[in-house]
A = this chain, B = another copy of it.
Amino acid sequence: MDIKQYVIEHGRQVNLAAGQHLFRQGEMEDALYFVKQGLFKAYYLCQDGKELVKSFIAEGDVITNLSAVFEREPCTFSLLALEPAALVKVDFDSLYQHTLDDLELSRFMLASLIKLAQKKERREYEFLCLDATTRYQQLMQHQPDLLHRITQNDIARYLGITPVALSRIKHGRKG
């Protein structure tokens, strides 16, 4: 079965206003979401109260909290709508069961997971090998569009630095 067909048959529309959470770190979650409209940030809340941004998610992307839906553990991060959003919610277990029995769905899942793995490898590379200034330059190069929809505070927390440090970098000053 085609994934689009599956989503039409099994999906449920969900709408969120900007500022609302789709789910929160610590809660249970068993769904997967297809983003039709809007912009989200996935973020971690650390022990010391600091907030770090895991990723930004926009139209066409898929939202899921792997450890939550697979291991049935509490969500490891929170998901917040930065813009008014429209999604389609699909029960993960049910989709997964269908995937195990349907080659076409299976192909779709494979492709998505490969894309995800590649994205995460790239991010691993950037944290491992590049300094904050270079990471910022790469972000500007590869997703210039995103930058206009996101606050500089969130960009900083995505790069793994503070807003103060990002401001310094932008203006070519040293610490």
Measured between beta carbons, the chain B residues less than 8 angstroms from A8 are none
Q: When the two chains form their complex, are residues A124 and B125 in contact, meaning their CB atoms are under 8 A apart?
A: no
Interface of A is mostly: helix
Binary CB contact string for chain A from 83 to 127 against chain B (1 if under 8 A, 0 otherwise) = 000000000000000011101001101100110111011011101
With A52-B128, A128-B52 as contacts: A67 and B118 at CB distance below 8 Å: yes
User: How many copies of this chain does one complex carry?
Assistant: 2
Measured in the bound complex, the distance between the Cα atoms of B114 and A70 in whole Å is: 9
Smallest CB-CB separation from A158: which chain B residue?
B128
Separation of A113 and B123 alpha carbons in the complex (Å): 17
CA distance A28 to B114 in the complex (A): 19
Flag whether A133 is at the interface (Cβ < 8 A).
no
> Which B residues touch A52, using CB under 8 A?
128-129
CB-based nearest B residue for A99: B110
Of all chain B residues, which has the CB nearest A125? B44
Known contacts A103-B103, A110-B110; can you find 8 more A-B pairs with CB under 8 A? A50-B129, A66-B114, A70-B118, A101-B103, A113-B113, A116-B117, A117-B117, A120-B120
A-B contact pairs, 24 of them (CB 8 A): A44-B125, A44-B129, A50-B129, A52-B128, A54-B124, A54-B125, A54-B128, A66-B114, A67-B118, A70-B114, A70-B118, A100-B110, A101-B103, A103-B103, A106-B107, A113-B114, A116-B117, A117-B117, A117-B120, A120-B121, A124-B124, A124-B127, A127-B127, A127-B128
